[in-house]
């Protein structure tokens, strides 16, 4: 539905999520589910999903990678088997270790980091600032002066986004550019064509082999053999 490459990337990331769940005994994103439950307990609390839509993030991330970077990333995700312990998770809560991991990611896939982390830092900051705007109180008449009360906002984000949100908070943010989806590159179109051609070719070959064996099986049956003998005897008579 969202494109071949985007769909494959989602499948690989689901595999990573399943690996983390298996290792830790809990699914990633528990903090967001907990936030939703807590928000439901607060009177008049509105719950907003403030992250950029996943299809936009995936498509921009895929467009930012070269063909060989896509292959390298897919290979790494396919064979992800490193053990993860709860102690490792606790270590990741330390800011210096988290920044070190982010720096390693930037070094290997700088464009991927830009689209998945930096751009989402901007989007999350923009959404939080929108939610934090003062609330205008209703007026009895248009002549009455406007009155505002401050909004109380609790933002729940991944730790890796906190430094970026702090950095962007006082900036004049525009999200139109990071919401656009670039057209697929030539390499992506070629890969998609090769993938479709290979799939259709294998499907056609499989149908041919199944059909050929089915015909051979039917012809080897005694009833079919007898019928064929009768057909060959008719011209002779």
Share of the chain above pLDDT 90, in %: 19
Tokens 């053999």 belong to: 225
Q: Which residue has the tokens 């689209």?
A: 115
Confidence (pLDDT) at 129: 94
Nearest CA to 164 out of 115, 121, 221, 202 is that of 121
d(CA 189, CA 183): 10
pLDDT tens digit sequence for 105-164 = 666 778 888 888 899 999 999 999 999 999 888 888 888 888 998 889 999 998 889 999
17-21, 33-37, 105-109, range with greatest mean pLDDT: 33-37
* Sign of the CA dihedral with 8 first, then 178, 98, and 162 last: negative
The tokens for 187 are: 């390499």
Cα angle for residues 53, 59, 60 (degrees, 5° grid): 90
pTM, two decimals, is 0.67
Residues 6+ apart with CB under 8 A from 161: 117, 120, 121, 124
Give the number of other Cβ atoms within 10 Å of residue 196's Cβ: 11
């Amino acid at each position: 539905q969202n494109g071949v490459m985007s769909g494959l990337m989602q499948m690989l990331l689901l595999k990573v999520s399943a690996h983390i769940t298996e290792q830790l005994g809990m699914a990633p994103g528990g903090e967001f589910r907990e936030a939703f439950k807590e928000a439901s307990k607060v009177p008049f609390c509105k719950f907003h999903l403030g992250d950029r839509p996943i299809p936009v993030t995936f498509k921009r991330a895929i467009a930012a990678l070269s063909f060989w970077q896509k292959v390298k990333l897919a290979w790494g995700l396919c064979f992800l088997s490193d053990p993860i312990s709860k102690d490792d998770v606790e270590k990741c809560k330390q800011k210096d270790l988290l920044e070190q991991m982010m720096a390693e990611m930037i070094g290997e896939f700088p464009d991927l980091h830009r689209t998945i982390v930096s751009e989402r830092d901007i989007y999350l900051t923009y959404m939080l600032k929108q939610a934090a705007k003062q609330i205008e109180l209703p007026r009895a008449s248009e002549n009455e002066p406007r009155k505002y009360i401050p909004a109380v906002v609790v933002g729940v984000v991944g730790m890796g986004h906190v430094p970026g949100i702090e950095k962007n908070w006082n900036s004049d943010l525009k999200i139109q550019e990071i919401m656009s989806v670039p057209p697929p590159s030539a390499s992506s179109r070629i890969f998609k064509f090769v993938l479709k051609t290979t799939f259709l070719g294998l499907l056609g070959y499989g149908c041919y082999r199944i059909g050929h064996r089915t015909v051979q099986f039917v012809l080897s049956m005694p009833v079919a053999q007898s019928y064929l003998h009768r057909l060959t005897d008719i011209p002779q008579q």
